[in-house]
Amino acid sequence: MNEVIKIEHLKKNFGDNEVLKDVNVTVKQGEVVTIIGSSGSGKSTLLRCINLLEKPTSGKIIYKDTNVLEKGYDLPKYRTHLGMVFQQFNLFNNMNVLDNCTSGQITVLKRSKEEAKAVALKNLEKVGMERFINAKPGQLSGGQKQRVAIARALSMDPDVMLFDEPTSALDPEMVGEVLKTMKDLVDTGLTMVIVTHEMAFARDVSDRIIFMDQGVIAEEGTAEELFGNPKHERTKAFLSRILNPTI
Ligand SMILES: Nc1ncnc2c1ncn2[C@@H]1O[C@H](COP(=O)(O)OP(=O)(O)OP(=O)(O)O)[C@@H](O)[C@H]1O
Ligand SMILES: [Mg+2]
C-alpha cells in the first residue's frame, strides 16, 4: 500500500503549552485510521496540523513523498487534496445545499458550473441528500447538515478525508445516519482519518486505532489489539472510563 500522508516528529506549541510532542503517523492509501483519547489530548490539533489550519511548530508533513512544510510548496493545492468534516458542520448558511457543494469546486478547482453540479449531485446521492438541493442549511436537521458537509468535502475529490468528531454535536437519534454514511464511505475504499468517541464504530471500521494522551501517541494498533489487549495503563484507564461510564 502506498503512503499518502506521513507525519514525522510533529510538534505544536500554543505559547508555553506543548500540545503535540513528537507525533509520528503514517496513513496509507485506503486505510481507515481512528484517533481516540481524552479531551485536550491534542486530537483536533493533530488533524488541524495535517490540513494546515494550524501551522506546526516543527516536524514534517510528507504528502506523497514531499514535505509540504518546505519553502515553496503549493499549500493551497495541498489543501484541496484533503477533505475535512467538522463537529459543527461549517456549511455556508446563506447558500442552498447544491451551492454549498459546488462553490469550492468552481472557485478552487475551476470546474464549470455544469460539471460541479454533476459531481455535487453524485455525492449528495451518496449521502442520501439529493432531494434537498434547494434547502438552506437552517431548514435541515443536524444529521442532514452533516451529510451535506460530507458530500461537499467529497465533491472536491480528496485523497484523504479528515473527520473531527462528526457526530458529537448531533442529537442521539441523528448519530446513526451519519455513522452509516461514513461506513458506506469506508466500504468504497476511501482513505479516512477519524477522530471519534464512538467506540463501537471505531472498532467496526478502523484498520488502525491511535490512542492519544497528553500530546503523544500513547498506543496504536488494530481494534482487536487496542480494545482486546491494551498494553498501557493510560489506554486501559481511558477505555474503561469511556466503555463503562459511571453517572
Ligand atoms: N488555538 C488554540 N490556542 C491555544 N490553545 C489551544 C488552541 N487549540 C487548542 N489548544 C489547546 O491545545 C490542547 C489540545 O486541544 P485539542 O483541541 O487538540 O484537544 P482534543 O483532543 O481535540 O480535545 P476534545 O476531545 O475536547 O476535542 C488543549 O489544551 C487546548 O486548550
Ligand atoms: Mg477536539
pLDDT digits 0-9 by tens, 34-66 = 999 999 999 999 999 999 999 999 999 999 889
Kindly state if the Cβ of 235 falls inside 6 Å of ligand 1: no
- With 0-12 CB in 10 A as exposed, 13-18 as middle and 19+ as buried, what is 88? middle
pLDDT tens digits for range 225-237? 999 999 999 999 9
Report yes or no: 155 and 104 within 8 Å, Cβ to Cβ: yes
pLDDT tens digits for range 145-161? 999 999 999 999 999 99
pLDDT tens digits for range 208-227? 999 999 999 999 999 999 99
Q: pTM above 0.85? A: yes
pLDDT value of position 192: 98
Per-residue pLDDT for 247 more than 70? no
Reduced to 3 states (helix: H, G, I; strand: E, B; else coil), residue 18 is strand
Kindly state if the Cβ of 41 falls inside 6 Å of ligand 1: yes
- Residue owning the nearest CA to atom 12 of ligand 1: 19
Pocket test for ligand 1, best of 10, 44, 197 (most atoms within 8 A of CB): 44
Find the 24 Cα to ligand 1 centroid distance in Å: 18
Atom from ligand 1 closest to the CA of residue 48: 18
What is d(CA 91, CA 27) in angstroms, rounded to the nearest whole number?
A: 27
